[in-house]
Amino acid sequence: MEFVRNKTLEKLKYDLVRDNLIKYEDLETAEQVSEAQHVNIGQVLISSGIIAEDTLLKFLESKLHIPYVNLDDYSLDKKCLNYINLNNAQKYKVIPLFEIEGILTVAMSDPLDLFAIDKIVEDAKCEIEPVISSENAILKKIEEYYTSASSVGQIFIDENRPKYDWREVLNNEELTSSLSDEHIQKLIRSILKQAISDDIHELFFEHVPNGLSVTFRQNSQNVSTGDIPTILVAPFIARLKTLSNLDPTVSELPQLGKLSFKVDDMALIASISAFPTIHGERISIKIYKPPKKLEDIALDLKKINIIRNAVQKPGILLVCGSGLSGKTHMIYSILSDIADDTKNVMTIESITKYNLENVNQCELNEHIGFNLDKAMRFIEFQSPDILYFEGINTKEGLDYFTSLVFKDKTLITEFLAENIADLMKKLSLSEFSMFKSLLTCLVFLHSKDSIEVFDKQALEKYFCLLYTSPSPRDT
C-alpha cells in the first residue's frame, strides 16, 4: 500500500520557497527523503529542522484561510468521538472537536484531502468544518481520547460472594427500559465479570430466535449461559464493536479488534472477532491474562534451562498444544523471560495480548494494508535477534521463516496439535523437512499442569525413532 501523501503540502510546497520560508535545495532534498522513506513531506521538513512546525502550520493557515488550532491544551467533546471511528481517525489523521447546530468541527493535518473529508461526512452524516492542527498533536489526542473511550472499565471480583451470574443485570428494569451506552456497557462488564470469575478464556455470541445467546467455552465444551433479549441485541453489538475499535456499521465483512479492561486493578486484553453468518454476526472473545514467570508455570529448572539455552543460538523454538492449552500464555512468559537490553526481541502478531517490557511488539493492521506479507518484507531491516511469529499459514511464509535461521535469527512460533502424535503427523509432510531440522526446542502443553520440553538432541532421537517405527506413540 502506498504511503498517504499530504495533499495540502504537495500543493503548497513551492509557496514555501516563494515566501522565503525554505530553500529550493532543501525542498528537493526533503522530496527525495519523502519518497525513499515513505513519509509525507511535511514530516520530513519538520524532523530535519528545515522549518519549525509552528511556522509551517501558521503558513498553511494564512494560505488556506482555515483556522489553526493548538491541541496541546485543548479539551475535546467526548460525545463527538462517535462521529468518527478510530480506524478512520488514525487513517486520515483527524479528530472531532465539537459540534454546534449540526456542524462538526474537525482537526485535520491535511485539510485539502477531499477524499478524507468525503469519508468523514459519510461517517458523521453531518456537515463538517475543518481546522488545521499538528499531525503529532492529532495522533496524541487520538491515543488519549479513543483509548480511554475504548475501555470497558473496572471490574471487581468478590471472592466471598456466591457464584456470579451475568443475567442478574438483566433483571434490572433500568437496563431493559434504557438503551444508553452506560447501561449497555454495564451488561458487557457483567458478562466479562462472570467469565473471569469462572476462569473462562473464550466466549462467543450467536443470533438465536430470542435474541443473542451467550456461550462460554469451558473444558473444550460450549456451555450456554443465557440469552440477551432482542431489544438489546443491536445496541449491545454496536457498543461491543465500538469498544473494540471495530466499525459498528459493517456487518458483512470479518473484523478483528481488541478490548481493554481491568479486573481488580489487573489490566487485561481480549481479542474480538466479528464474523458474518447467514443468521447474523457471530462474535468471539478470547481473554488473555498477563504472563507468569517461567518459574511459576508447571516447569522444573531442567525444562526452563532447555528453553533458555535454545534461544541463545539460531534455530526454532516451537510451542504446541490444543486450542485452549495456554500456548499464547507460554510464549509470552518465554518472551518476558528472555527480553533484556542486550537483545532485540520482536514480535509479529495479529493482536498484542499484553505489553511486554523490552520487547518490540508489532501489531498487524489489514485496514491499512499492513499484513503479514508486508511485515516479513521489512522486518529484517529492524535486525531482530529473537523473533516471534504468531502463525505461519502459507508455504511461502514457512520458507521465509526457516530462511531467517540461516541469518542467525532465533525464531519462536506455535502450532495447533491435540497431542504429540498429531504434531508429528503434521511435521511428517515434506514441506516441513527443513523446519524440523532447525528445531532447537519443542514445548508441548498437554494441559496447564502437564508440559513437556524437548531439546534438540531429544527431538533428533524422537524423529529417528518415529521414522523407524510403524506407529508413533503419543508420549
Per-residue pLDDT tens over the stretch 81-93: 878 877 788 888 8
Residue 42: the pLDDT is 80
Decide if 151 contacts 127 (C-beta within 8 A).
no
pLDDT digits over 229-281, tens only? Answer: 998 999 899 889 988 888 888 889 999 988 888 888 788 889 999 999 999 99
Model confidence at 222: pLDDT above 80 = yes
In a domain, 473, yes or no: no
Cα(272)–Cα(288) distance, integer angstroms: 11
Give the residue-averaged pLDDT of 328-350. Answer: 92
Quote the mean pLDDT of the chain: 85
Decide if 412 contacts 359 (C-beta within 8 A).
no
Using the 3D structure, point to which of 90, 125, 149 is the last residue of a domain: 149
Residue 469: the pLDDT is 46
Say if residue 90 is in the same domain as residue 230: no
Say if residue 112 is in the same domain as residue 165: no
Give 409's contacts (C-beta < 8 A, 6+ positions apart).
314, 384, 385, 386, 387
Cα 61 vs. chain centroid, distance in angstroms?
A: 36
Surface-to-core class of residue 33, CB atoms within 10 Å of its CB (0-12 exposed, 13-18 middle, 19+ buried): middle
Decide if 412 contacts 262 (C-beta within 8 A).
no
Cα 87 vs. chain centroid, distance in angstroms?
A: 12
In a domain, 199, yes or no: yes
Say if residue 422 is in the same domain as residue 298: yes
Give the residue-averaged pLDDT of 421-433. Answer: 85
Give 396's contacts (C-beta < 8 A, 6+ positions apart).
none
Helix (H) or strand (E) holding 96: strand 94-100
Cα(359)–Cα(379) distance, integer angstroms: 14
Say if residue 78 is in the same domain as residue 125: yes
Counting the structural domains of the chain, the total is 4
In a domain, 105, yes or no: yes
In a domain, 260, yes or no: no
Decide if 183 contacts 212 (C-beta within 8 A).
no
Model confidence at 468: pLDDT above 60 = no
Decide if 423 contacts 454 (C-beta within 8 A).
no
Say if residue 271 is in the same domain as residue 240: yes
Say if residue 144 is in the same domain as residue 184: no
Residue 472: the pLDDT is 39
What residues make up the domain containing 13? 1-64
In a domain, 222, yes or no: yes
Output the domain CATH number for residue 282: 3.30.450.90
Give the residue-averaged pLDDT of 420-426. Answer: 86
Model confidence at 203: pLDDT above 60 = yes
pLDDT digits over 342-393, tens only? Answer: 899 999 998 898 889 899 999 888 777 788 888 888 888 899 999 999 877 7
Give 401's contacts (C-beta < 8 A, 6+ positions apart).
316, 389, 392, 411, 413, 435
Say if residue 21 is in the same domain as residue 92: no
In a domain, 342, yes or no: yes
Say if residue 455 is in the same domain as residue 324: yes
In a domain, 195, yes or no: yes
Give residue 170's pLDDT band: very low, low, confident or very high (50, 70, 90). Answer: confident
Residue 346: the pLDDT is 94
Helix (H) or strand (E) holding 287: strand 282-288
Q: Residue 391: phi, psi to the nearest 5?
A: -165, 150
Using the 3D structure, point to which of 134, 149, 164 is the last residue of a domain: 149
CA proximity to 159, closest of 196, 188, 106, 184: 196
Terminal Cα-to-Cα distance of the chain (whole angstroms): 47
Q: Where are the beta strands (DSSP E) in 350-392?
A: 359-363, 386-389
Q: Is 47 left (phi over 0), alpha (psi -120 to 50) or beta?
A: alpha
CA proximity to 29, closest of 50, 12, 54: 50
Provide the residue count of the chain. Answer: 475
Distances (CA, A) of 397 to 221, 286, 290, 437: 32, 25, 29, 17
Using the 3D structure, point to which of 40, 64, 88 is the last residue of a domain: 64
Say if residue 401 is in the same domain as residue 436: yes
Cα(191)–Cα(213) distance, integer angstroms: 12
Cα(475)–Cα(452) distance, integer angstroms: 9
Residue 106: the pLDDT is 93
Decide if 40 contacts 4 (C-beta within 8 A).
yes
Say if residue 456 is in the same domain as residue 394: yes
Residue 149: the pLDDT is 56
Say if residue 319 is in the same domain as residue 459: yes
Say if residue 245 is in the same domain as residue 176: yes
Model confidence at 466: pLDDT above 60 = no
Cα(215)–Cα(126) distance, integer angstroms: 39
Decide if 318 contacts 415 (C-beta within 8 A).
yes
Query: What percent of the chain has a predicted confidence (pLDDT) above 90?
Result: 34
Output the domain CATH number for residue 322: 3.40.50.300
| 3-state secondary structure at position 256 | strand
Cα(131)–Cα(239) distance, integer angstroms: 29
In a domain, 400, yes or no: yes
